[in-house]
Amino acid sequence: MTSKTRVVVIGAGLAGVTLARRLGELGTPALLVGDEEHRPYNRVLLAEVLAGRYSPEVIALPAPAGLLRGRVTGVDRAGRTVRCADGSVIAYDTLVLATGSNAVLPPLRGLFSPDHELPEGVHAFRTMDDCLGLSKAVRPGARAVVIGGGLLGVSAARALAVRGAQVVLAQQSERLMERQLDPAASALVRRHLEGLGVEVHTECRVRDVRGVGGAVRSVEMGDGYALGTDLVVLACGVRPRVGLAREAGLDVGKGVLVDDELRTSDPHIRAVGDCAEHAGRVYGLAAPALEQADVLAGLLAGDGTGSGAAAPRYTGTRSLTRLTLTGPDGPFGGPDGPFDLAAFGETDPRPGDDVVQLADATRGTYRKVVVRDDRLVGGVLVGELGTVGALARAWEGAEPLPSDGGPLLHLLTQDGGS
Ligand SMILES: Cc1cc2nc3c(=O)[nH]c(=O)nc-3n(C[C@H](O)[C@H](O)[C@H](O)COP(=O)(O)OP(=O)(O)OC[C@H]3O[C@@H](n4cnc5c(N)ncnc54)[C@H](O)[C@@H]3O)c2cc1C
């Protein structure tokens, strides 16, 4: 890459900001175009803002130089330019899509008005605007229904309960956070939420949102029961934002398809973060977004330097999911302490796998690891994360574990726990 090469990054989220900052450090400044009004922020911490624990300023990301506020509405691949909503046109040599995900809006009757606006009181939970809107609407005693019991729904329900709302969490499948947690860990999360007064309903489908005068009044369950509510939070998952890529004719699966150099089907366009699909995987998590941004910065800054060093490659992220739910130290403190959990790899054993499990019902802690062919393939820790670093390293390294099992037990208990 020559010094004239112009890198334009679309999307000032975790991936885009990290990439632009790293490129700046490596002497290849980029132009970053982001469509959110707020200063770039760490989306992972939005629930902390909703819970009243952090102000929006606390979760702001250090903004890189060269940040332009605006929405890119089209890509002209032949002319190598992008068009913005304000009519401006920006030329690029390398374009990076870091457009993230959108909240999935479930197909509920009554959700959309003819002008595609959500009814008043119904909120997605993806952006700072969503978070501030919800935060403004919630008050002690307000009735809230959270639809979806994954990571997002659990965080939102916890935060709203901490703010004094009467929360009902409706989860369609049979347990909470089923993608990450095994049944025992799920049960502890449920117990924790119920301890905060959240009413948890599993195998519960919401089919209708009802309002009066454009404002939500109730939701109707699959069995016809109507539940009065002031607020509804839609936490039904996310979908990669691939509209620009698709319209530009790039190859798109669930996300924008990229190779090990994060290159799309157009060699001048790369993609990173939630919008990218690598080796059949769309991660939707922060750690892969950061790793991809880091690799791409190395690739773009290194091109053409003639250093002879092997080009970095992105070969996938073994990603640990970690959730800390706010404790009583916030201004809207809850009745108990912080609640931590971490999960990685496969937490449900296959036949023939070895499982080591330690549970302490009184303290509400639970630790489990799954071992296959002498290798750690997954684990889940709830309430007590002292050993998470050592376990994650053993998992990431994928080295065979000594066969007597001693070191494994040590890994589970080395913090001195039970
Ligand atoms: C409430 C919440 C909690 C979460 N908790 C966790 C967690 O505990 N652990 C975890 O690993 N992950 C978590 N995540 C997921 C994590 O936030 C995402 O994986 C991460 O933000 C992905 O980064 P990204 O830069 O790819 O996308 P994003 O952060 O979504 O950023 C994309 C940006 O691009 C902008 N954009 C899109 N299109 C355009 C356009 N055409 N023009 C200009 N700008 C555009 C968007 O507005 C957005 O600002 C959470 C997400 C949420 C919402």
Q: Which tens digits make up the pLDDT trace of 10-43?
A: 999 999 999 999 999 999 999 999 999 999 999 9
Retrieve residue 69's tokens. Answer: 């506020």
Ligand 1 atom 41: residue of nearest CA: 72
pLDDT value at residue 293: 98
Distant-in-sequence, close-in-space partners of 360: CB < 8 Å, separation ≥ 6 = 366, 418
Distance 71 CA to ligand 1 centre (A): 15
Instruction: Classify the C-alpha dihedral 245-247-248-254 as positive or negative.
Output: positive
Percent of the chain with pLDDT over 90: 63
pLDDT value at residue 328: 47
Residue with tokens 């913005």: 84
Distance 374 CA to ligand 1 centre (A): 36
Instruction: Classify the C-alpha dihedral 258-262-268-269 as positive or negative.
Output: positive
Q: How confident is the model over 350-365, as pLDDT tens digits?
A: 999 989 888 887 877 8
Distance 283 CA to ligand 1 centre (A): 11
User: What is the distance between the alpha carbons of residues 128 and 179, in angstroms, rounded to a whole number?
Assistant: 25
Q: How confident is the model over 101-127, as pLDDT tens digits?
A: 999 988 888 787 666 778 899 999 999
Average the pLDDT over 143-164 and give the result. Answer: 95
Distant-in-sequence, close-in-space partners of 279: CB < 8 Å, separation ≥ 6 = 316
Query: What is the number of other CB atoms lying within 10 angstroms of the CB of residue 196?
Result: 17
CB 241 within 8 A of CB 102: yes
Q: pLDDT at residue 311 above 50? A: yes
Which residue would you say has higher pLDDT here, 213 or 69? 69
DSSP 150: S
Least confident stretch, 7-16, 118-127, 206-215, 234-243: 206-215
125 Cβ below 6 A of ligand 1: yes
| Pocket residue to mutate for ligand 1, from 43, 282, 321, 324, most atoms within 8 A of Cβ | 43
Per-residue confidence band for 417, with pLDDT thresholds at 50, 70 and 90: very low
User: What is the distance between the alpha carbons of residues 240 and 227, in angstroms, rounded to a whole number?
Assistant: 32
Q: pLDDT at residue 304 above 90? A: no
47 Cβ below 6 A of ligand 1: yes
Ligand 1 atom nearest residue 272's Cα: 26
Retrieve residue 52's tokens. Answer: 């009243």
Ligand 1 atom 30: residue of nearest CA: 100
Per-residue confidence band for 308, with pLDDT thresholds at 50, 70 and 90: low
377 Cβ below 6 A of ligand 1: no
| Pocket residue to mutate for ligand 1, from 99, 101, 318, most atoms within 8 A of Cβ | 99
Distance 117 CA to ligand 1 centre (A): 22
DSSP codes joined into one string, 93-110: SEEEE---EEEPPP--BT
CB 171 within 8 A of CB 146: no
Ligand 1 atom 32: residue of nearest CA: 100
User: What is the distance between the alpha carbons of residues 284 and 257, in angstroms, rounded to a whole number?
Assistant: 14
Distance 274 CA to ligand 1 centre (A): 7
Retrieve residue 361's tokens. Answer: 């019902």
Nearest CA-CA partner of 325 in 346, 341, 343: 341
Q: pLDDT at residue 334 above 80? A: no
pLDDT value at residue 237: 92
Average the pLDDT over 243-261 and give the result. Answer: 98
Residue with tokens 């004239």: 4
| Pocket residue to mutate for ligand 1, from 31, 44, 179, 244, most atoms within 8 A of Cβ | 44
400 alpha-carbon distance from chain centroid: 31
15 Cβ below 6 A of ligand 1: yes
Q: pLDDT at residue 303 above 60? A: no
105 burial level (CB within 10 Å; 0-12, 13-18, 19+): middle
Ligand 1 atom 34: residue of nearest CA: 11
Query: What is the number of other CB atoms lying within 10 angstroms of the CB of residue 198?
Result: 21
Query: What is the number of other CB atoms lying within 10 angstroms of the CB of residue 398?
Result: 11
Q: Which amino acid is at 416?
A: G
Average the pLDDT over 237-243 and give the result. Answer: 96
Which residue would you say has higher pLDDT here, 254 or 331? 254
Ligand 1 atom nearest residue 275's Cα: 26
Cα dihedral 386/392/393/397 (nearest 10): 160
Q: Residue-wise over 266-301: b if at least 16 C-beta within 10 A, else e?
A: beebbbbbbbbbbeeebbbbbbbbbbbbbbbbbbbb
User: What is the distance between the alpha carbons of residues 1 and 22, in angstroms, rounded to a whole number?
Assistant: 16
Distance 271 CA to ligand 1 centre (A): 14
Nearest CA-CA partner of 144 in 162, 126, 128, 118: 162
pLDDT value at residue 351: 94
Q: What is the pTM of this model?
A: 0.90
Which residue would you say has higher pLDDT here, 242 or 329? 242
% helix, strand, coil for the chain, step of 5: 25, 30, 45
CB 108 within 8 A of CB 207: yes
Q: pLDDT at residue 222 above 70? A: yes
Q: pLDDT at residue 3 above 70? A: no
pLDDT value at residue 391: 85
Average the pLDDT over 251-257 and give the result. Answer: 98
68 burial level (CB within 10 Å; 0-12, 13-18, 19+): middle
Residues recorded for the chain: 418
Q: Which amino acid is at 199?
A: E
123 Cβ below 6 A of ligand 1: no
- Report how far apart the first and last C-alpha atoms of the chain are (Å, whole number): 55
CB 302 within 8 A of CB 276: no
